[in-house]
């Protein structure tokens, strides 16, 4: 290990604050299978019975085009954990579909890595 | 009504784009957010994720109440690779005392960029240690701040004690070309590591 323990007092103060609101509703339950880069898309225009809160409706509007959970969280200004639960509600209600990220271990399809490389070079 | 734990298999949707992620880590103020912003097609977004603090007095058999959770602020950018592939770059929080939170963050990552600030090279050590221990491929972006003495890539490699295969890419995090260069070096490194012919 480099440079000792790596622990030192931070003069800028804590970046984090305790977050307890979603405790117990994070998993298991709606949204348990979602990753912060799961991509979510609305599967129908009319909201179903799962739309019970204004946030559900806002999520449906935003994900008319595919969007990641992290992007939803940023645009709704809600913690990712909360968005996972809300998206989980919508998945359970059949309003949205999601696609999990590719597990890194499944990536040796070098075509995909080559595509990533080409995509970055095109920037 | 609720269908706890019985969600549809979300991997069977080839019509939805798939996402990949690369982490951008390093010491406090090293230029992580700047690097994310310089290559991202969107203005970096920020969000919060609640992470479980592993180890900190957590009893395996205890209920959720006893687990301590912490909110970590993340910023991220996006690069659309193709219609069906999107790459996200996540900037990790700079304070190294939160390194233990990165486990959840690192899960499934394609790789990482560690941003080193040559004025405080040691501030990247915890990130380097972290990715080495978890065998996550990473590249070192050596961010040259104005007026900072210019170490060569090899001097930095030696000072940080990096393996010979780890890409060391000097640059300026504010420039897109620098960001591209280190990301290209990282993905090439990932491809090499995955190619069995090269790992003999
Ligand atoms: N001269 C110079 N300044 C830079 C460079 N990269 C970043 N900066 C500046 O350094 C400051 C910190 O950069 P950030 O990108 O916010 O650093 P960070 O690593 O995200 O910081 P934390 O998230 O707080 O740990 C900003 O004012 C940047 O404009 C660089 O390559 N050269
Ligand atoms: Mg930052």
- What digits encode the pLDDT tens for the residues B86-136? 999 999 877 656 666 677 788 889 999 999 998 899 999 999 999 999 999
**HSE value, Cβ hemisphere, 13 Å, CA-based, for A26:** 19
Higher pLDDT, B72 or B85: B85
In a domain, A25, yes or no: yes
In angstroms, the separation between the Cα of residue A15 and the nearest Cα of chain B is 7
Higher pLDDT, B167 or B15: B167
| pLDDT at position B186 over 90 | yes
Higher pLDDT, B61 or B138: B138
Which residues of chain B lie closer than 8 angstroms to A32, CB-CB? 4-5, 7
At residue A116, the pLDDT reads: 94
At residue B196, the pLDDT reads: 64
Looking at residue A93, which CATH number applies to its domain?
Answer: 1.10.10
Contact B108, B87 (CB under 8 A): no
B200 reaches A (C-beta below 8 A):
no
| pLDDT at position B166 over 80 | yes
In a domain, A108, yes or no: yes
Neighbours of B23 (CB within 10 A): 27
Q: How many folded domains does chain A comprise?
A: 1
- pLDDT tens per residue across span B5-34: 444 444 457 789 999 999 999 988 999 999
In a domain, A10, yes or no: no
Neighbours of A40 (CB within 10 A): 26
Q: What is the pLDDT along chain A (123 residues), one digit of tens a residue?
A: 565 443 333 333 333 322 333 334 444 567 778 999 999 999 976 667 777 888 999 999 999 999 999 999 999 999 898 999 999 999 998 999 999 987 776 665 668 899 999 999 999
Residue of B28, B160, B40 whose CA lies nearest to B92: B28
List the beta strands (DSSP E) in chain B. 18-26, 45-52, 69-82, 85-91, 111-117, 138-143, 168-171
In a domain, A13, yes or no: no
Of the given ranges (B68-77, B159-168, B178-187), which has the lowest mean pLDDT? B68-77
In a domain, A69, yes or no: yes
Indicate the angle between helix axes A110-121 and B176-194, nearest 10 degrees. Answer: 170
Q: Which ligand 1 atom minimizes the distance to the CA of B178? A: 31
In a domain, A113, yes or no: yes
In angstroms, the separation between the Cα of residue A80 and the nearest Cα of chain B is 5
- Residue A35: which of B108, B161, B191 has the nearest Cβ? B108
| Domains of chain B, CATH where assigned | 18-194 (3.40.50.300)
Contact B35, B77 (CB under 8 A): no
Q: Do A70 and B8 touch (CB under 8 A)?
A: no
At residue B67, the pLDDT reads: 58
In a domain, A29, yes or no: yes
Task: Output the CA B132–ligand 1 centroid distance in Å.
Answer: 24
Q: Do B16 and A117 touch (CB under 8 A)?
A: no
In a domain, A30, yes or no: yes
Q: How confident is the model at residue B183 (pLDDT cuts 50, 70, 90)?
A: very high
Q: What range does the domain containing A112 cover?
A: 18-121
Which residues of chain B lie closer than 8 angstroms to A30, CB-CB? 2-4, 7
Higher pLDDT, B199 or B189: B189
At residue B54, the pLDDT reads: 56
- Interface with chain A: mutation pick from B9, B12, B14, B18, highest number of A CBs within 10 Å: B18
Q: Which residue of B lies nearest to A8 if distances are taken between CA atoms? A: B97
Task: Output the CA B28–ligand 2 centroid distance in Å.
Answer: 8
- CB-based burial, B51-80: b 16+ in 10 Å, e otherwise: bbeeeeeeeeeeeeeeeebbbbebbbbbbe
């Amino acid at each position: 290990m480099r440079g000792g323990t790596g622990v030192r007092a931070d003069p800028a103060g804590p970046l984090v604050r305790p977050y307890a609101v979603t405790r117990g509703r994070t998993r298991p339950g709606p949204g348990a299978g979602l990753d912060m880069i799961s991509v979510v898309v609305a599967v129908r225009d009319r909201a179903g019975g799962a739309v019970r809160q204004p946030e559900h409706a806002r999520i449906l509007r935003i994900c008319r085009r595919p969007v990641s959970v992290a992007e939803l969280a940023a645009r709704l200004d809600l913690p990712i954990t909360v968005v996972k639960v809300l998206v989980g509600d919508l998945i359970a209600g059949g309003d949205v579909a999601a696609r999990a990220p590719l597990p890194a271990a499944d990536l040796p399809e070098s075509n995909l890595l080559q595509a990533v490389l080409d995509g970055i070079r095109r920037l | 009504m609720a269908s706890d734990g019985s969600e549809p298999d979300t991997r069977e949707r080839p019509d939805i784009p798939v996402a990949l992620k690369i982490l951008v880590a390093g010491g406090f103020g090293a230029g992580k957010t700047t690097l994310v912003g310089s290559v991202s097609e969107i203005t970096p977004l920020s969000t919060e994720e609640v992470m479980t603090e592993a180890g900190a007095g957590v009893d395996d058999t205890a209920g959720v109440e006893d687990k301590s959770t912490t909110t970590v602020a993340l910023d991220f950018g996006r690069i659309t690779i193709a219609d069906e592939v999107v790459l996200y770059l996540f900037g990790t929080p700079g304070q190294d005392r939160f390194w233990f939170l990165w486990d959840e963050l690192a899960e499934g990552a394609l790789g990482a960029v560690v941003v080193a600030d040559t004025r405080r090279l040691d501030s990247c050590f915890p990130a380097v240690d972290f990715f080495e221990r978890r065998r996550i491929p990473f590249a070192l972006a050596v961010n040259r701040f104005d007026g900072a003495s210019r170490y060569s890539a090899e001097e930095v490699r030696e000072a940080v004690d990096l393996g010979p295969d780890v890409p060391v890419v000097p640059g300026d995090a504010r420039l897109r070309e620098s960001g591209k260069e280190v990301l290209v070096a990282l993905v090439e490194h990932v491809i090499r590591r995955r190619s069995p012919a090269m790992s003999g």
